[in-house]
Chains A and B, each alone.
Chain A
Amino acid sequence: QVQLQESGPGLVKPSETLSLTCTVSGGSISSYYWSWIRQPPGKGLEWIGYIYYSGSTNYNPSLKSRVTISVDTSKNQFSLKLNSVTAADTAVYYCAKKTQALDPWGQGTLVTVSS
């Protein structure tokens, strides 16, 4: 079955760019949509955006100006870049496969924005 694993720096300085990668194993990244979701500590879930394997994207309007999601089918990976981060971007970041719903999810990775 498909499994997802997030990777990237756990600490990012304010005003810099947060970069994460999600590696898909147990199946091909092709022919599906792939999504990023985040959860600030002690708070609820927020959808960040998704990408189709062909490269078309859809972003949360509240983050659209700062977000880029890309895909590398040769590596079976997709990535998230969030620029100009502030402390409000501190969260656990999850990647997930999107078919009819979001399933499965990666285990999540905590990214802290601090100097």
Chain B
Amino acid sequence: QSVLTQPPSVSGAPGQRVTISCTGSSSNIGAGFDVHWYQQLPGTAPKLLIYGNSNRPSGVPDRFSGSKSGTSASLAISGLQAEDEADYYCQSYDSSLSGYVFGTGTKVTVL
């Protein structure tokens, strides 16, 4: 089972700002391990959206931003667009499991 907890779904109107939380523990996010975020459009493979807590790969719009504090991390999408409808996953490393862990995933719906 996932050790990183995300809300199952979030929604917003076009142009609005939404945030997705990723809650971990002292063995993963709280231990200082980086958090990465992936976007999975319907029927496609996940794509890296944010790496190292807050860095955007080239080509990712600056509407997407990431942050981390304590045992949690967040992904914010500002100026929500219809093309942002997708599933979003956080990912980190867990020292207790000695391996990588994914969040439970969040479905973003644009109203």
Interface size on B, residues (CB 8 A): 23
**Which residue of chain A is the closest to B102 with respect to CB atoms?**
A45
In Å, the complex CA distance between A100 and B33 comes to 11
Answer yes or no: B46 CB below 8 A from chain A CBs.
Answer: yes
**Interface footprint category on A:** 20 to 34
Q: Which residues of A contact B45 (CB under 8 A)?
A: 94, 105-108
Q: Which residues of A contact B102 (CB under 8 A)?
A: 37, 44-47
Interface pairs (25), CB distance under 8 Å:
A35-B100, A44-B105, A45-B38, A45-B89, A45-B102, A46-B102, A47-B101, A47-B102, A49-B99, A60-B99, A61-B98, A61-B99, A94-B45, A94-B46, A100-B51, A102-B46, A102-B48, A103-B48, A103-B57, A105-B45, A105-B46, A106-B45, A107-B44, A107-B45, A108-B45
Taken together as a complex, chains A and B put the C-alpha atoms of A87 and B88 apart, in Å, by 26
Q: Is the interface of A mostly helix, strand, loop or mixed?
A: strand
Bound complex: CA A83 to CA B109 (Å): 38
Distance of B45 from chain A, by nearest CB (Å): 4
Does B79 make an interface contact (CB < 8 A)? no
Decide if B9 is an interface residue (CB 8 Å cutoff): no
